[in-house]
Amino acid sequence: MSVEVSITDGPLPAWTPAPGLEGAGAFLLFEGLVREREGDGRVTALDYQAYEPMAQSMLAQIGADIRERFGLSAVRIEHSRGRVPVGACSFRLVIQSPHRREALRAMDEFIDRLKQDVPIWKRPVWRGDAD
């Protein structure tokens, strides 16, 4: 029964499965990638800024909330700070749960709350910008 949070510089490294899935009936992995299209423009990257440690504590709090509400086995949250190029991963949510339905609902709720309450911002780096 754990919630782990990390905020790290740049793109998130590729996911490597951790041991300990024996009790899980469902394993969900969500990755948010930087897309090239942003509105009518094209970006080469996004610059992420986080208000730390508030972002860290909010991610942990929301993770603990969904773990409790949906009876999850484990929650792992990873988010980038700084520059993340198009196509790279900037957010990862991993959920282990005894059952599939609760895991899917928990994932949806977590992402909704992330986008409402966690003090992290992104700034587009437009294609053609010097910086």
Partner 1 sequence: VGSSARCHGRGTLREHTPVPAGAAPTLPLAMTVRVLLFGPEAAAAGRDSVSVEAEPGVTCRDLLAQLGAQHAPLRPFLARARLALNSRFAAPETTIHERDEVALIGLVSGG
Decide: is 77 part of the binding site for partner 1 (CB under 8 A). no
Query: Nearest 10 degrees: CA dihedral of 96, 99, 101, 105?
Result: -30
Report CA-CA distances (Å) from 3 to 62, 75, 76. 10, 5, 6
123: contact with partner 1 by CB under 8 A? yes
CB of 98 to partner 1, least distance (A): 26
In sequence order, what are the residues at sequence separation of 6 or more whose Cβ sits closer than 8 angstroms to the Cβ of residue 116?
none
Closer of 32 and 98 to partner 1 (Cβ): 32
- Binding partner 1 by CB under 8 A: which of 15, 49, 87, 108? 49
**By the rule CB under 8 A, 62 interacts with partner 1:** no
Ranges within 79-98 binding partner 1 (CB under 8 A): 79, 81, 90-91
Residue with tokens 């010097």: 130
Q: How many residues bind partner 1 (CB under 8 A)?
A: 29
CA–CA gap between residue 19 and residue 3 (Å, rounded)? 15
Report the residue number, 53 or 87, with the smaller CB distance to partner 1.
Answer: 53
Both tokens assigned to 4:
């782990």
The reply on whether position 120 binds partner 1 by CB under 8 A is: yes
Residue with tokens 């990638």: 33
Binding site for partner 1 (CB under 8 A): 6-8, 32, 48-57, 79, 81, 90-91, 111, 114-123
